[in-house]
């Protein structure tokens, strides 16, 4: 996979470059000001510190990363174009985005891009078709897990791990309850069947 790192922070960009190289990715570093629409890469990591609405971005998946302050300074409409990754983040989070098949033109990926599904951890919301949907902390964590595992059933036991460490007694049907909330906020609102029940296996995002 060929990945372009667009950043003027050469030290941080170099760290990303070396980490990606260890995973077998072919990476390159450019200043955002040097970008063109003809870049031939599979994915771009764009530093929010160098973002401008006037940037000429290629038609490839873009991960926009930056601090909360940097991301808050960008218009919601612009944010909806990207996969959002707030700093600081664990490299495992970045790998999860890059190596999850997002850059392959699978049927699910094409449908996902048409829906414009973008998770924004800084504002705890999800963008669907460019519209912002605010989620509670539990809803967001559960939806993020389903997105990470999309195309693969997530058991109730695994889904329940997003609620671990919370105070108070957890009810046995807590996952089912929050799946219902997510379906009301997303599936019913946008008239889509995004969150599917897999009999005997749990829940799955599939399009």
pLDDT, residue 165, reads 57
**Structural tokens at position 201:** 């296996």
CA angle 109, 139, 84 (to 5 degrees): 45
pLDDT, residue 170, reads 57
Place of tokens 């990303």: 16
Place of tokens 């800084």: 122
pLDDT in tens, 8-18: 999 999 999 99
pLDDT (average), residues 36-58: 88
Asked if residue 109 belongs to a domain, the reply is no
pLDDT (average), residues 104-120: 53
Asked if residue 147 belongs to a domain, the reply is no
Beta bridge pairs of residue 104: none
In terms of Cα–Cα distance, which of 206, 198, 18, 2 is closest to 108?
A: 206
Asked if residue 190 belongs to a domain, the reply is no
pLDDT, residue 166, reads 55
Structural domain total, the chain: 1
Judge whether 127 and 80 are in contact, CB under 8 Å.
yes
In whole angstroms, give the CA distance from residue 4 to residue 138.
33
Domain of residue 35, residue span: 1-104
Q: What is the CATH number of the domain that holds 65?
A: 3.40.50.2300
pLDDT, residue 5, reads 96
Confidence of residue 3 (pLDDT cuts 50, 70, 90): very high
Residues with Cβ < 8 Å from 161, sequence gap 6 or more? Answer: 145
Asked if residue 186 belongs to a domain, the reply is no
Q: Is the model's pLDDT at 51 over the cut of 70? A: yes
Asked if residue 119 belongs to a domain, the reply is no
In terms of Cα–Cα distance, which of 48, 43, 55, 47 is closest to 109?
A: 43
Distance from the Cα of residue 56 to its chain's centroid? 22
pLDDT in tens, 60-72: 888 999 988 888 8
In whole angstroms, give the CA distance from residue 68 to residue 122.
6
Asked if residue 194 belongs to a domain, the reply is no
pLDDT (average), residues 109-117: 52
Asked if residue 184 belongs to a domain, the reply is no
Asked if residue 125 belongs to a domain, the reply is no
pLDDT, residue 106, reads 41
């Amino acid at each position: 996979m060929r990945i372009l790192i667009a950043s003027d922070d050469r030290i941080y960009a170099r760290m990303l470059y070396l980490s990606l190289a260890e995973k077998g990715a072919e990476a390159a570093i450019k200043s955002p000001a040097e970008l063109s629409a003809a870049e031939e890469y599979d994915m771009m990591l764009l530093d929010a510190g160098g973002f401008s609405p006037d940037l000429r971005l290629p038609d490839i998946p873009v991960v926009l990363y930056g601090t909360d302050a940097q991301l808050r300074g960008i218009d919601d409409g612009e944010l909806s174009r990207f996969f959002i990754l707030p700093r600081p983040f664990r490299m495992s989070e970045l790998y999860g985005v890059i190596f999850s098949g997002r850059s392959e033109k699978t049927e699910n990926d094409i449908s996902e891009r048409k829906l414009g599904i973008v998770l924004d951890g800084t504002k705890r919301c999800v963008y669907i078709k460019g519209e912002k949907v605010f989620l509670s902390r539990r809803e967001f964590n559960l939806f993020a897990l389903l997105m990470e595992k999309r195309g693969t059933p997530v058991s109730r036991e695994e889904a329940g791990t997003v609620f671990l460490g919370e105070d108070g007694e957890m009810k046995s049907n807590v996952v089912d309850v929050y799946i219902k909330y997510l379906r009301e906020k997303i599936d019913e609102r946008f008239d889509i069947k995004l969150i599917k029940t897999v009999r005997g296996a749990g829940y799955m995002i599939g399009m």
